[in-house]
Amino acid sequence: MDNAKTALITGASRGIGAAIARALARDGFDLWLNYRSDHEAAAAVQRSVEEAGRRCKLLPFDVADGDAVKAALEPALEEEVPFALVNNAGFARDALLVWMSQQEWRDVLAVHLDGFYSVTKLVVAAMLRKRRGRIVNVVSTSGQSGIPGQVNYSAAKAGLIGATKALAAEVAKRNILVNAVSPGFIETDMTKNLPLDRILPMIPLGRLGTPEEAAGAVAFLCSDRATYITGQVIAVNGGTYM
């Protein structure tokens, strides 16, 4: 049995989350892989992690459901404390604010902010006892610059950026580093229906990013090369927002 560290990744069955899982597995992490309902996609990620020689525990729950988070994580945390937590779960419900329903507002904030609270509160308490850990929150250019039609998503991601900085200050003395990675336009399900003819001219590098490029920044922050970095937002956006 090796001394592998464990990472918990939320929303890890597809897109950036799946790429983060594979990147951390290549770096020697065992994984707790959270997802909400796509069992087939989660199983595919689990297979790729195990093919890399690492262990992968599937933890299906909705991060926006605080009771479900407790039911899944409290027993797991009694057995092991992850070295890294990656809060990646998220989704968008785009609409101009004047037409946005209260449900669309609440659903987006619930996943990003309530999910961050419920998962991180449990995990960071265990990390504090261990006096070590890494927390990486996946935010968005939308939370840094604001994007029309995404007032709910921009508010949620900006809130996560503020939470990242505040939590980093709270736990630094216990050797827990808290940072954010802020992807721009990345090739995922969230961008496949966007008008590329209008978007690409906004990106100085002239292309969409890949999930693996966003995952690389997360993997760096979880590595031994990032031991003096905390409270920071690392943008992976091709120069869209500087």
Catalytic residues: 153
Give the Cα separation of 203 and 199 in Å (integer): 7
* SS3 of 64-123: CCHHHHHHHHHHHHHHCCCCEEEECCCCCCCECHHHCCHHHHHHHHHHHHHHHHHHHHHH
CA atoms within a 13 Å half-sphere pointing along the CA-CB vector of 35: 23
Give the Cα separation of 155 and 143 in Å (integer): 6
Angle subtended at Cα 69 by Cα 65 and Cα 70, rounded to the nearest 5 degrees: 120
Query: Measuring CA to CA, which residue among 30, 18, 17, 86 is closest to residue 57?
Result: 30
- 166-175 burial, b at 16+ Cβ within 10 Å, e below that, comes to ebbeebeeee
Are 88 and 138 a contacting pair, CB within 8 Å? yes
SS3 179: strand
